[in-house]
Chains A and B, each alone.
Chain A
Amino acid sequence: MCLSIPAKVIEINGEMARVAVGETIVNASLQMLDDVEIGDYVLLHTGFALQKISAVDAAETLALFEELEEINKKMDQEEQDKLA
């Protein structure tokens, strides 16, 4: 029921927009959002744009796993230090 998918805004007419989900173009209500622009990605849920998708945060999430490896190494080091 909460299923939602990323969609790209390609046209805005007042409170309605045309958005692309992959190759498919559908209508989406923008009533829940302010400041949506053409080219933005939104999360589409039963014909409504729920939230904008942040490109910066998406990139950060993908970068985070590199950081996790660093954290692991650090934890390892601390453990070894404790033992020493």
Chain B
Amino acid sequence: MKYITEFRSKEIVSRLADQIRYISKRPVRFMEVCGGHTMAIRKFGIPSLLPDNIDLLSGPGCPVCVSSNLFIDKAVAYSRLDDVIITTFGDLIRIPGSTSSLDNEKANGSDVRMVYSTLDALNVARKNPDKKVIFLGIGFETTAPTSAIAILKANAENLENFFLYSSHKVMPPAMEALIDEGVNLNGYIAPGHVSAITGSGIYKLIPDKFGLGCVISGFEPVDLLQSIYMLVRQYETNSPKVEIQYKRVVTPEGNVKAQAIMNEVFELRDDWWRGLGILRNSGFGLRKKYERFDAEKMLDVEVEVTVEPKGCICGEILKGVKKPSDCKLFGEPCSPANPVGACMVSNEGSCHAYYRYNE
């Protein structure tokens, strides 16, 4: 397939690996903060192509994993209301909350529907005027504009039964918080599809304030190795900066139209991240003028007391201070078929990726 096959070329991959080996002199640790990168790095076995002095870590890039159990618990509580239809991307259905999951509620008769796009969620609302249709908005700057578009459409149509329950988050505060906390890092493999929307400016503080390199990477083996090469070069020449490897998709200014849509609908608010706690201005809430579509403001529901799974060290893993293999529950009893924590359920979770690609 175009734009995929050529970026998997075995020949280029092995030559890039040689070049990295050639220029990399000192031990380094690079972190990726995008679930898509976590998956790709494991799937293509990127660590096995690198010299021993280069260590790759996974950070807080799995949106489902960094969100609180409270998010699932509240979605479960909404789903139990008679007049509510929950619409969501498939990723969330199997995530365990404190005592239940959406999957479980669906089996018990709740109306929980998987949608492919926020436009499908709007359709469900149009077709069911006597029900309240809640879309579970999760994800970073890549997915937030698609929720924003749904809100603008609902507003234009005066669709009174469509609601967004937002757990949308923004990436830079988490990247900065990790460095602040003293996680041992020498550079970031920055998220490609978040940056396609935001542009490269959002990472400016990482080299300027923290002195770390930052390369925005694509998702194919050639992309990832080239990004690692660029990070090693920055490190070895002591010239940290923001560079774009994923030039075919990411520009310095990003998708300005999508940014405007996001800005129109959302405002920044403090938000809680698993492993990092509450981070200032790290989440997206609906602006006051779109309040009537805000599930949290408009729909009251009682939520059970949140309990985090016992023994699960997802929080430490999301910070890159522990690896999935450090968890006593990894593999047995915790596996994709019988997940204990969110990091094992979501395709983008580190535990899932480690388990699936057998590290």
Contact = CB atoms under 8 A, between A and B. Distances in A.
Contacts of B186: none
Contact of B193 (A45, A47, A54, A71): A45
A41 B117 contact: no
Contact of B257 (A4, A29, A32, A72): A32
Interface in B7-53: 7, 12, 15-16, 19, 22-23, 34-36
B230 to A, nearest CB: 9
A65 B2 contact: no
Given A34-B257, A51-B196, A72-B22, A1 B149 contact: no
A70 B346 CA distance: 42
Contacts of A72: 19, 22-23
A77 interface: no
A43 B4 CA distance: 12
Contact of B117 (A5, A48, A62): A48
Contacts of B4: 5-6
Report which residue of A6, A32, A62 has the largest number of chain B beta carbons within 10 angstroms of its beta carbon. A32
Contact of A48 (B62, B145, B218): B145
B98 interface: no
Contact of A61 (B91, B120, B142, B245): B245
Given A3-B36, A29-B119, A53 B145 contact: no
B117 A47 contact: yes
B15 A6 contact: no
Contacts of A25: none
B247 A57 contact: yes
Contacts, number: 132
How big is chain A's contact interface, by range?
35 or more
Interface string A4-31: 1110100000000000011000000101
A21 B197 CA distance: 21
A69 interface: yes
Contacts of A83: none
How big is chain B's contact interface, by range?
35 or more
Given A1-B138, A43-B193, A65-B226, A54 B247 contact: yes
A25 B79 CA distance: 33
A75 interface: yes
Contacts of B149: 29, 31-32, 48
Nearest to B171: A2
Nearest to A8: B2
Report which residue of A5, A62, A71 has the largest number of chain B beta carbons within 10 angstroms of its beta carbon. A62
Interface in B116-152: 116-120, 138-140, 142-143, 145-146, 149
18 contacts: A1-B142, A2-B142, A22-B1, A29-B149, A32-B258, A33-B257, A41-B3, A45-B142, A45-B146, A46-B89, A47-B118, A47-B119, A51-B196, A54-B249, A58-B247, A62-B7, A68-B229, A69-B19
Interface of B: 1-4, 6-7, 12, 15-16, 19, 22-23, 34-36, 62-64, 89, 91, 116-120, 138-140, 142-143, 145-146, 149, 191-194, 196-197, 218, 222-223, 226, 229, 233, 245-250, 255, 257-258, 261, 348
9 nearest CB pairs, A to B: A47-B117, A57-B247, A58-B248, A6-B3, A2-B142, A2-B193, A57-B248, A1-B139, A32-B258
Interface of A: 1-6, 8, 21-22, 29, 31-34, 41, 43, 45-48, 50-51, 53-55, 57-58, 60-62, 64-65, 68-69, 71-72, 75
Given A6-B2, A75-B23, 9 more contacts: A1-B35, A1-B89, A2-B143, A6-B3, A8-B2, A21-B1, A46-B146, A53-B248, A68-B226
